[in-house]
Amino acid sequence: MTETSFGGYAAPAPRYTGTSASSVYIPMRDGVRLAAEVVLPKGLEAGARIPALLSQTRYWRARELRVPFKWFLTPEVLEPDFRDFQPFFTSHGYALVLLDVRGTGASFGAWPHPWAEDSVSDSAEAVDWIVAQPWSNGKVGGYGISYLGTTAELLAVPDHPAVKAVIPMFNHPDAFTDMSSWSDFDRNLDRNVVPEEFGFWGRLLLRGVKPVGGDRGRDLLRKAVREHASNGHAFSLGRPLDYRDSRTDGTDLTVEDVTVHRFKKEIASSRAISFGWGSWLDAGTADAVIRRFLTFDNAGRAAIGAWEHGGRFNASPYRSPDAPPSPTLKEQWSEMLRFFDENLKGDAQRIGSEKTLFYYTLGEEKWKATSVWPPEGTTLQRWYLAADGLLLPDGPGEEAGSDTYTVDFEAETGEFNRWWEMGAVVGKTVVYGDRSDAASHLLTYTSRPLARDVEITGYPVVTLYVTSTHEDAALFVYLEDVDESGRVFYATEGQLRALHRKVSTEASPYRLQVPYHSFREEDAMPLVPGEVAEISFGLQPTSVLIRKGHRIRIGIAGHDEGTFVRIPAEGTPVITVSRNRIHASCIDLPLLQRG
């Protein structure tokens, strides 16, 4: 592990000023036409050859403003933070190709479910079209955030020789463990209706997706939108399913059908190098980054920061929500540029050939880099739940000892927590304020003041011995930092439904550093009321510095109101947590030796 100036890369001087954009339809093998926005550097010389960056979206590749706003505004007025994104890359000699995936936006065809096989094949044909353009140098990179991040990751699957590098950002490769609800947002987009999530100004200014060919393309747009009526209702994947092999809405579709790891072999053998981005405070995207980094040799670069879902805002609970992100958005683009220049131009300052994961330590508010995960010098230290609400490094000596907790269904982590991902749409960030009041809704265990600084970097793993009055329960465990004044800082959390507590002996699709739960129906283990059950699971990974004099707090809950569904749907479980020599509930913390 070394400290690093991630975000400190000085991009070369821009070569071009301004952009030139045009809309086209790209025909696919079956005659389906996909809408694309092609953005080139303005003034590109005749005969010049430049690389292209492909972004594939199901959220409209380009938007159209209503009259009269379109006469004096551009759609970027609704996304000022990203207004300079396209000019930044075109100024450095890149073409941007923004594609509405099959069955969405102004594209024709149907969208049966997220990241369908047809869309993966479409991406290779889109690359064929790109490299056939007179301005192409024959090299293509992929990038995108969230859904678009997964399309970027899957761009490597066909192993097209032109695809050299991809940057999947803040994406969810495993729908069962990583995704939250989509609601009706996508459904409105597919009907060319401006969603409510775009806010008052969005609904006032926007007409919808940009037609190919401007006003002359409206008839084509209407025909394309009519074809979207047959889109699959995979939105139900965001609804609670009991098992990952459960069928959705009476179809043959399961969560396995939309996971990235179904293409694991193809990704592993791809010649494209990836640079995965995520955040400690954004759903499970940090976990996704680490799983990819550990599993694939060609996952050569990775970055985990303290951002919301997209990198526009700071999300560290140790800084004000109004503080700028670290690094700034333009500095993030510079790091993307360096990576693409290295792999699509070969003329950038290289970081080195070894795998590198950049990560940000909360509380210390510093960037670091490592070639392995967890970083060298990390050791697991076990802390035990003890009497009087203490968290101790020494195991219990008594034969008996337990605490009883009646699940409080009013326990919650706030409106803008890590699982809320609409920040990129409505311009808000993740906010975890002082959580000292949360203790009244939790069962908590707190250490004595620390004698030295403690850095927790990696995956905490909790093991609880519980008895419940019901056959099922949801267990939420929070890792928190309590300062000398009693203020409580959120660090990370993990949750597991007791029904899925079986630790599988099968091989996981990814290299994991936590117990593997299959979430399949064949591995279901309902609780037996009155019997002690061992429940062990990993928390979301983190890197946090807890200062000398602060205390470590573990909070246990049975619900997160407003974020997760209630389990069980009826009744109020009473959970007994054992903390004795026979059943020693504990948490293993990955501590990184400092100094």
What's at 327, amino acid-wise? P
What is d(CA 158, CA 351) in angstroms, rounded to the nearest whole number? 27
What's at 8, amino acid-wise? G
Task: Give CA 15 to chain center in angstroms.
Answer: 33
What is d(CA 93, CA 34) in angstroms, rounded to the nearest whole number? 25
Q: Which residues are within 8 A (CB) of 353 and not within 5 positions of it... i.e. 6 or more apart? A: none
Task: Give CA 152 to chain center in angstroms.
Answer: 13
What is d(CA 111, CA 231) in angstroms, rounded to the nearest whole number? 5
3-state secondary structure of 369: strand
Task: Count other C-beta atoms under 10 Å from residue 76's C-beta.
Answer: 15
CA distances from 467 to 450, 527, 533, 570, 583 (A): 31, 8, 6, 18, 11
95-100 vs 50-57, strand pairing mode: parallel
What's at 433, amino acid-wise? G
Q: Are 375 and 592 in contact, with CB atoms under 8 Å apart?
A: yes
Cα distance from N-terminal residue to C-terminal residue, the chain: 11
What's at 373, amino acid-wise? W
Q: Which residues are catalytic?
A: 146, 282, 309
Which stretches within 132-198 are classed as H helix? 147-154, 175-178, 185-190
What is d(CA 122, CA 28) in angstroms, rounded to the nearest whole number? 7
Question: What are the beta bridge partners of residue 142?
Answer: 54, 166
What is d(CA 113, CA 35) in angstroms, rounded to the nearest whole number? 19
For residue 390, give the DSSP letter.
B
What is d(CA 95, CA 16) in angstroms, rounded to the nearest whole number? 12
Q: Of the candidates 185, 207, 256, 188, which has an alpha carbon nearest to the alpha carbon of residue 62?
A: 207
Does the CA dihedral 143-146-151-154 come out positive or negative?
positive
Q: Are 92 and 15 in contact, with CB atoms under 8 Å apart?
A: yes
What is d(CA 65, CA 55) in angstroms, rounded to the nearest whole number? 21
What is d(CA 491, CA 479) in angstroms, rounded to the nearest whole number? 6
What is d(CA 378, CA 483) in angstroms, rounded to the nearest whole number? 24
Q: Are 6 and 367 in contact, with CB atoms under 8 Å apart?
A: yes
- The tokens for 247 are 């069928």
**DSSP of 126-147, one letter per residue?**
HHHHHHTSTTEEEEEEEEEETH
